[in-house]
Amino acid sequence: MNGLLPDVTALLPTMLGGLQTSLVLTVSSLLLGLPLGLLLSFGVVTPNRVLRWISVFFVEVGRGAPALVLLQLMYYGLPNVQITLSSLVSACLALTWTTAAYTAELIRGGIQAVPSGEVEGADALGLSAGDRLRFIVIPQGLRIALPSLMGFAVLLFQATSLAYTVAVPELMSQAYSTGSSTFKYLPAFIAAGILYAAISIPATWLSVLAEKRMSRHL
Amino acid sequence: MSRIAPVSTNLVVQVRNLAKAYGDHVVLRDVSLSVPEGSVTAMIGPSGAGKSTVLRCMNLLEKPDSGEIEIDGHLINAGAKVSARNLAALRRSAGMVFQHFNLFPHMSVLRNISLPQERVLGRSREEANAKSMELLTRMGLADKADQYPARCSGGQQQRIAIARALALGPRVMLFDEPTSALDPEVGVEVLEVMKELAAEGMTMIVVTHEMGFAANVADELVVMADGGIIESGDPHEVMSDPQHERTRRFLRAVLER
Amino acid sequence: MQMLQAILIGLPMTILVTVLSLALGTVAALPLLAGLRSGNRLLWLLSRGIIDLLRGVPPVVWLFILYYGVSVGALRLTALQAGVIGLGLVSAAYLAEIFRGAISSVHSGQWEASSALGFTRTTLWRRVVGPQAWRTAIPSYTTYSIGLLKDSSIASTIGVAEIVYMSNQYARQSGEGILIFFIAAGVYIALSLPLGILSRHLDTKMRKVVAR
């Protein structure tokens, strides 16, 4: 146990590059996944049957399958159909899918929680259906969903640790290679854990804070 | 004071043979109502009588099963399919004020009043804001323009909601229990505004439990029970000499409280 | 055919990891819950800290720490042990929060009424607060269990031969990666379907009870 602390502190700076890749993966999956999630949240209730079934497929598989399965599906599967992507891009696609599927449900929940009085207010003023969606329902729905979307973002950041299985050089993968080259597995994984926690824990506090503020305003 | 029938006989609102049921539960049976321009109609009656439903059917927040609604010349037949254009025109003619205000919590007070003007009437941002400020000033709320609704008291929120509806220049204002969610003292602020509106000649239909308002401000009192209108007429006459046993029972319950 | 075989071999292990982790998590959640509800500032802080740490570090990191790191002396955890302990501890943290939320959702009037009636603490928990809190917790508990079923796949990273591990091996050997992982996805969905239906059923039932 004696040498553990110095080992960990010595390793921390060497892993910042991996942490950066983890964050890039998180942010790009969110940037692609959130708009898709918004579309899917309407897709799953559209009267158009074909669109609805496609949306339901993406949402159900994206939520029902472990992120690890989606990662491997993209990484091992896409070359089968002659699509070759870098491991970072294929991981980003897999996590975008997960993001879109989860956020679709969260956004739908937010939209359903928009108080009916606000919708009626818009109707009584004669706002068109499109305007009602654009100015009232979507902004309010997203606002209500914000705390849970923030909570999801933290889980997504943690899920990027699984991208090491498809050779993305992110934090976990860096810890693993450091561990196997120096045989100092424990310090390497503890250092990685500290870096993950340093981001996740404050981010979780933020989402809890957002939730408290939200419940005060509703 | 005793009033002669309103000078104008131009009917702004006409409701004919409105009926609505949820399954076996009949909410409205054959309700007909005419409201002359510039008059104030108060609707009273026990809860569950269908007062709010009549009001909400008027601008089609609820769709009646059958009957006709005509507001400012825009006719809607419950049996036929309602075109979006006709619906928009009808809703533009009728301003609605809700029991729970239904302001948009994510917009400032000013945006609450300006946005509908921009989107429904096509006014520019400047025009809309100018109109909003004029109305807010009239309500004594000009200093609240940049606040969010949650920062305003209930009475203030309701006056903002009235301003929001007025900004669209409606021909008739529909009030759905506008003071029921407010403390009595705060409700007075709102009733004052409504009295002013009535004095200025706004056509108003008010579902209310405020018997004082019904007696002193309204030109016509409509008593509803069990989904139908059981009695209507001059407020003082109806209150002092109700013709119907159901009215008598209701008035006794309300006035002897 | 070989494809299905791979998944079928992995299936019992997936279920085993899920069930054992859930059991461990549920039991280990109780002391954490007690800490969260404790009036003792120090105990509260300790529980809070453990929960935040367990949730703040990705499960795969915990599994690696347990599997590669905890090998002091002769004692070394097997992959299954490390997987179950790791996932179980992380679950304990999440479940403790779920239970805490459910208990605090029981209306304070229920506590007051129980005190006013002179109930003992045991009666209070067993007859009044317990059942109400449990009913509130069930939907979140089942949702979490479904999540745990999917998270059990993380045990594949340290070599537990469950569905994803077997699928991965098959994909590497055969070079076929679409169908096998779609089937794997389908199996997870099929496994979570009954749980999801149960949860939704209980949720609607609960809502009816809560709303008039």
Per-residue pLDDT tens over the stretch B50-69? 999 999 999 899 999 999 99
Give one DSSP letter per residue of chain B, joined into a string.
Answer: ---PPPS---EEEEEEEEEEEETTEEEEEEEEEEEETT-EEEEE-STTSSHHHHHHHHTTSS--SEEEEEETTEEEETTSPPPHHHHHHHHHHEEEE-TT----TTS-HHHHHHHHIIIII---HHHHHHHHHHHHHHTT-GGGTTS-GGGS-HHHHHHHHHHHHHTT--SEEEEESTTTTS-HHHHHHHHHHHHHHHHTT-EEEEE-S-HHHHHHT-SEEEEEETTEEEEEE-HHHHHHS--SHHHHHHHHHHHT-
CA distances from C57 to A184, C62, C86, C143, C145 (A): 19, 7, 11, 21, 19
Q: A130 at the B interface (CB within 8 A)?
A: no
- Long-range CB contacts for residues A82-89, cutoff 8 Å, separation at least 24: A87/A163, A87/A166, A87/A167, A87/A168, A88/A21, A88/A25, A88/A168
Q: A124 at the B interface (CB within 8 A)?
A: yes
Q: Do A158 and C59 touch (CB under 8 A)?
A: yes
Over residues A64-76, the mean pLDDT reads 93
Residue of C36, C52, C60, C158 for testing the chain A interface, max A β-carbons within 10 Å = C60
State the burial class of residue A146 (Cβ atoms within 10 Å of its Cβ: 0-12, 13-18, 19+): middle
Considering only CA atoms, give the Rg of chain C: 20
Are residues B230 and B223 in contact, defined by beta-carbon separation less than 8 angstroms?
yes
What pLDDT score was predicted for residue A22? 96
Q: Do A131 and B98 touch (CB under 8 A)?
A: no
Q: A3 at the C interface (CB within 8 A)?
A: no
pLDDT tens for A177-216 read 998 888 888 899 999 999 999 999 999 999 999 888 877 6
Q: Do A73 and C185 touch (CB under 8 A)?
A: yes
Q: How confident is the model at residue C176 (pLDDT cuts 50, 70, 90)?
A: confident
The distance from CA B100 to its chain's CA centroid, rounded to whole angstroms, is 13
The C-alpha atoms of residue B232 and residue A128 are separated, in whole angstroms, by 36
Task: Domain B11-107+174-255: state its class.
Answer: alpha beta
Q: A125 at the B interface (CB within 8 A)?
A: yes
| Domain range summary for chain B, segments of one domain joined by + | 11-107+174-255
Min Cα–Cα distance to chain A from C55, Å: 8
Q: Do A125 and B120 touch (CB under 8 A)?
A: yes
Q: Do C153 and A201 touch (CB under 8 A)?
A: no
What pLDDT score was predicted for residue B31? 94
Structure tokens belonging to residue A160: 């990027």
The distance from CA A142 to its chain's CA centroid, rounded to whole angstroms, is 16
Q: Do C184 and A79 touch (CB under 8 A)?
A: no
Structure tokens belonging to residue A13: 């700076």
Query: Least CB-CB distance to C55: which of A70, A190, A204?
Result: A204
Q: How is the beta sheet containing B228-233 ordered, strand by strand? A: B94-97, B172-176, B203-207, B40-44, B220-225, B228-233
Are residues A78 and A85 in contact, defined by beta-carbon separation less than 8 angstroms?
yes
Buried b (16+ CB within 10 A) or exposed e, B49-82: bbbbbbbbbbbbbbebeebbbbbbebebebeeee
When comparing pLDDT for A213 and A23, which is higher?
A: A23
Q: Do C164 and A72 touch (CB under 8 A)?
A: yes
pLDDT tens for A41-64 read 999 989 999 999 999 999 999 999
**Does residue B218 surpass a pLDDT of 90?**
yes
Mean pLDDT of chain A: 92
Q: Do B102 and A123 touch (CB under 8 A)?
A: no
Which residues, other chains included, contact C166 with Cβ-Cβ below 8 Å and sequence gap of 6+?
A: C6, C7, C9, C10
What pLDDT score was predicted for residue C128? 84
What pLDDT score was predicted for residue C149? 95
pLDDT tens for C91-110 read 999 999 999 999 998 888 88
| Dihedrals phi, psi of C179, to nearest 5 degrees | -60, -45
**Does residue A99 surpass a pLDDT of 50?**
yes
**Does residue B160 surpass a pLDDT of 50?**
yes
The C-alpha atoms of residue A78 and residue B5 are separated, in whole angstroms, by 81
Query: Least CB-CB distance to A140: which of B61, B102, B106?
Result: B106
**Does residue B126 surpass a pLDDT of 90?**
yes
Question: Per mean pLDDT, which range of A85-99, B70-84, C20-34 is the poorest?
Answer: B70-84
Q: Do B92 and A126 touch (CB under 8 A)?
A: yes
**Does residue B8 surpass a pLDDT of 60?**
no
Q: A114 at the B interface (CB within 8 A)?
A: no
Q: Do B98 and A125 touch (CB under 8 A)?
A: no
When comparing pLDDT for C115 and A171, which is higher?
A: A171
Q: How confident is the model at residue C131 (pLDDT cuts 50, 70, 90)?
A: confident
Query: Which residues partner with A136 through β-bridges?
Result: none
Residue of C21, C36, C68, C104 for testing the chain A interface, max A β-carbons within 10 Å = C68
Instruction: Indicate the pTM of the whole model.
Output: 0.85
**Does residue B177 surpass a pLDDT of 70?**
yes
Which of chain B's residues have a Cβ under 8 Å away from the Cβ of A123? 59, 61, 91
Q: Do C65 and A165 touch (CB under 8 A)?
A: no
Are residues B152 and B101 in contact, defined by beta-carbon separation less than 8 angstroms?
no
Q: Which fold has domain A4-217?
A: MetI-like fold (1.10.3720)
Residues 119-178 of A with CB under 8 A from C: 158-159, 161-162, 164-165, 172, 175-176
Which of chain C's residues have a Cβ under 8 Å away from the Cβ of A73? 177-178, 181-182, 185
Residue type present at position C102: A
Which residues, other chains included, contact C83 with Cβ-Cβ below 8 Å and sequence gap of 6+?
A: C17, C21, C63, C67, C152, C154, C155, C158, C160
Q: Do A204 and C58 touch (CB under 8 A)?
A: no
| Domain range summary for chain C, segments of one domain joined by + | 2-211
What pLDDT score was predicted for residue C212? 35
Over residues B69-96, the mean pLDDT reads 89
Task: Domain C2-211: state its class.
Answer: mainly alpha
- CA–CA–CA angle A80, A61, A104 (5° rounding): 125
Structure tokens belonging to residue B191: 């009733």
What pLDDT score was predicted for residue C157? 94
What pLDDT score was predicted for residue C192? 87
Min Cα–Cα distance to chain A from C38, Å: 21
The C-alpha atoms of residue C25 and residue C97 are separated, in whole angstroms, by 12
Are residues B60 and B91 in contact, defined by beta-carbon separation less than 8 angstroms?
yes
What pLDDT score was predicted for residue B163? 96
Min Cα–Cα distance to chain B from A215, Å: 12
pLDDT tens for A138-159 read 999 999 999 999 999 999 999 9
The C-alpha atoms of residue B192 and residue B198 are separated, in whole angstroms, by 10
Residue type present at position C100: R
What pLDDT score was predicted for residue A193? 95
What pLDDT score was predicted for residue B182? 92
Chains B and C touch (3+ CB pairs under 8 A): no
Which residues, other chains included, contact C53 with Cβ-Cβ below 8 Å and sequence gap of 6+?
A: A197, A201
Q: A127 at the B interface (CB within 8 A)?
A: yes
Structure tokens belonging to residue A157: 């950041």
Residue type present at position A19: L
Over residues A121-129, the mean pLDDT reads 92
Are residues B82 and B76 in contact, defined by beta-carbon separation less than 8 angstroms?
yes
Residue type present at position C142: T
Chains A and C touch (3+ CB pairs under 8 A): yes
pLDDT tens for C51-101 read 999 999 999 999 999 998 876 566 788 999 999 999 999 999 999 999 999
What pLDDT score was predicted for residue A216? 63
Chains touching A (3+ CB pairs < 8 Å): B, C
Largest Cα–Cα distance of chain A, in whole Å? 72
| Dihedrals phi, psi of B97, to nearest 5 degrees | -120, 125
Structure tokens belonging to residue A153: 């973002």
Q: How confident is the model at residue C208 (pLDDT cuts 50, 70, 90)?
A: low
What pLDDT score was predicted for residue B1? 42
Mean pLDDT of chain C: 89
User: What percentage of chain A carries pLDDT values higher than 90?
Assistant: 78
SS3 letters for A99-138? Answer: HHHHHHHHHHHHHHCCCHHHHHHHHHCCCCHHHHHHHHHH
